[in-house]
Amino acid sequence: MTAFRLALRNLRRNKRRTVFTTSGLTIGLIVMIFAYGMLDGMEEQALANTIRFESAHLRAFPAGYLDNEFMRDLDDLIPHAEQLRDSLAAEFEARATVRLHIQGQLISGREEAFVDIIGVDPERDRTVYDVLGSLSQGSSFGGEDGVLVGRKLAKDMGFAVGDRVTLFARSAPGALNSRRLPVLGLIATGNPLIDGHAVFLTLSDARAFALVEHEANEIALLFGGRGRAETVARRVRARGGSFDWQTWREAAAGFLEIVKLRRIVFGFIVALLALIAAVAVSNTMIMAVHERTMEIGALRALGFERSLIGRLFLFEGIAIGVIAGVIAVVLGGLLVTWFNHAGISLAAYEDMDIGIPMSEALYPALRWTNPVAAFVFGVLVTALASWHAARRAQKGEVVRALREGML
């Protein structure tokens, strides 16, 4: 009690130094809270984006499909895809849709690009994916035949809604096929795979183009919750059969790896911040011990135990951590809450592929774990940093302390 009150009072002794050290630590902790909120938000949004536009919860592909990312022909397809779709949907209480992916080229004027031509079921696709609901210009399927194209792709190649483009691809029997179609609408999802590389047709148009009837190469399932994907995947994989299965988490593995990398990089930055904070606090406390040598001697003469003297300085240092922690939790929490509502616009980076699917604004995640971690971190750093000063304060001999103070 004595040590605690004295420690708090002592903080007021060299106000400027205390304010300086505390605000430095506070800023560090706020940076930590905010940056981890951003990382969490990025991860969360990217996962949501992947599920909404790219992976659903679980997808079935023809066997071998996933191993051959760049050379997918239409030799291996899922026969009677609609039947399988309906039985999976019924068995696992999932919403389900069929897609047909055709690797081909899009030609517009002199520009050409390799694209993923995707045939989608106009009715069912929107129960699983949000792609058809992410039109930024034009209109969806329903009237005349045509394609929906990723906005970035259209921009890169310089065509617009209403222009005609040519699709060029190998059909299932192997012959090359091409078709010239108007662009009905542009799609903006924030997912680089879609916005920059995808061309959507109706499933029936795509089948006609590829010269297949009831086959397809993707059945996408969406469950009540994404946690169910693993369980279902385990069960369907256990049955064997001629399918490749991919859960949303597996689909996201690539950018989760990137996020993890960023976490590691950021971990180093935090460690560096911690080191700086520790040095600052330690320095502040060592100076305090040095300045109060005589007072320490006097207190020991009055009958203060060594350990009490040590605690005095330990508490004083930790108090810096607690104060900085409280301020950082409040300010950092407010900052994260604010941006969680307002979002941080990424419009300026729209054309930059950061390897992570993102929409136009980043929303840092509101998680209590980050402020709590920052608080604990601040207190631990200051405790460790003042430990040394506390040892020094309690180590010396009374007589020497009193004499040194005199000199």
Partner 1 sequence: MNAEPVVRVHELSKSYNQGRVQAVRGVSLDVSPGAFLALAGPSGSGKTTLLNLIGALDVPDEGEVTVAGGRLAELSEKQRTRLRRQRIGFVFQQFNLVPVLTAAENVSLPLEILPGTTRESRRRAAVEMLQRVGLEGLGDRLPSQLSGGQQQRVAVARALVKNPPLVLADEPTANLDGATGIALIDLMNRMRTDQDVSFVFASHDPRVLDRVDTVVEMVDGCIRQ
Q: Is 403 in the site for ligand ADP (CB under 6 A)?
A: yes
Quick check: 171 and 207 in contact, CB under 8 A?
no
- The helix or strand, by DSSP H or E, that contains position 88, with its residue range, turns out to be helix 81-91
**In degrees rounded to 5, what are phi and psi of residue 365?**
-80, 140
Within a 13 Å sphere around the CA of 177, how many CA atoms are in the beta-carbon half? 19
Q: Which residues contact 220 (CB under 8 A, 6 or more apart)?
A: 55, 56, 58, 59, 96, 97, 99, 128, 129
Instruction: Kindly state the smallest distance separating residue 301's Cβ from ligand ADP, in Å.
Output: 15
Candidates 153-161, 294-302, 328-336, 341-349; binding stretch for partner 1 (CB under 8 A): 294-302
Give the integer Cα–Cα distance in Å for 305 and 97.
Answer: 75
Q: Which residues pair with 164 in a beta bridge?
A: 182
From the list 332, 280, 313, the residue with the least C-alpha distance to 394 is 313
Given partner 1, ligand ADP, none, residue 19, with its beta carbon under 5 to 8 Å by kind, binds: none
Nearer to partner 1, 195 or 316 (CB): 316
10 binds partner 1 (CB under 8 A): yes
What element of type H or E holds 383? Answer: helix 369-395
Q: How far apart are CA 373 and CA 73, in angstroms?
A: 50
CA–CA gap between residue 177 and residue 148 (Å, rounded): 19
Q: Max Cα separation, the chain?
A: 100
- Residues whose CB is less than 8 angstroms from the CB of residue 125 and which lie 6 or more positions away in sequence, other chains included: 97, 99, 131, 132
Partner interacting with residue 10 (select from partner 1, ligand ADP, none; CB below 5-8 Å by kind): partner 1
State which H helix or E strand residue 201 sits in: strand 198-202
Tell me: does residue 235 bind ligand ADP (CB under 6 A).
Answer: no
Beta carbon nearer to partner 1, 11 or 199: 11
The answer to whether 54 and 251 are in contact (CB under 8 A) is yes
Least separation in angstroms between residue 405's CB and ligand ADP is 12
Contact flags string 362-401 toward ligand ADP, x per CB under 6 A:
-------------------------------------xx-
Task: Give which of ligand ADP, partner 1, none residue 301 binds (C-beta under 5 to 8 Å, depending on kind).
Answer: partner 1
The Cα 256–Cα 50 span in angstroms is 11
Give the x/- contact pattern for partner 1 in 141-170, rule: CB under 8 A.
------------------------------
94-102, 106-114, 137-145, 397-405 -> range binding partner 1 (CB under 8 A):
397-405
CB of residue 396 to ligand ADP, shortest distance in Å: 11
**What does the per-residue mask of binding to partner 1 show for 297-336, with x meaning CB under 8 A?**
xxxxxxxxxx-x----------------------------
Judged by CB under 8 A, the stretch of 199-207, 233-241, 291-299, 332-340 that binds partner 1 is 291-299
* Three-state DSSP class for residue 356: coil
CA-based end-to-end distance of the chain: 32
Q: What is the DSSP letter of 261?
A: H
Site for ligand ADP contains 301 (CB under 6 A): no
Helix (H) or strand (E) holding 26: helix 15-50
User: Among all chains, which residue has been given the structure tokens 């089948």?
Assistant: 207
- Pick 122 or 405: Cβ nearer ligand ADP: 405
Stretch that binds partner 1, among 9-17, 79-87, 131-139, 169-177 (CB under 8 A): 9-17
Q: Check binding of 13 to partner 1 (CB under 8 A).
A: yes
Stretch that binds partner 1, among 4-12, 88-96, 116-124, 258-266 (CB under 8 A): 4-12
Q: Quick one: 164 or 400, whose CB is closer to ligand ADP?
A: 400
Q: How far is the CB of 384 from partner 1 (least distance, A)?
A: 25
Site residues (CB under 6 A) for ligand ADP? Answer: 399-400, 403
Site residues (CB under 8 A) for partner 1? Answer: 1-2, 6, 9-10, 12-13, 294-295, 297-306, 308, 397-399, 402-403, 405-406
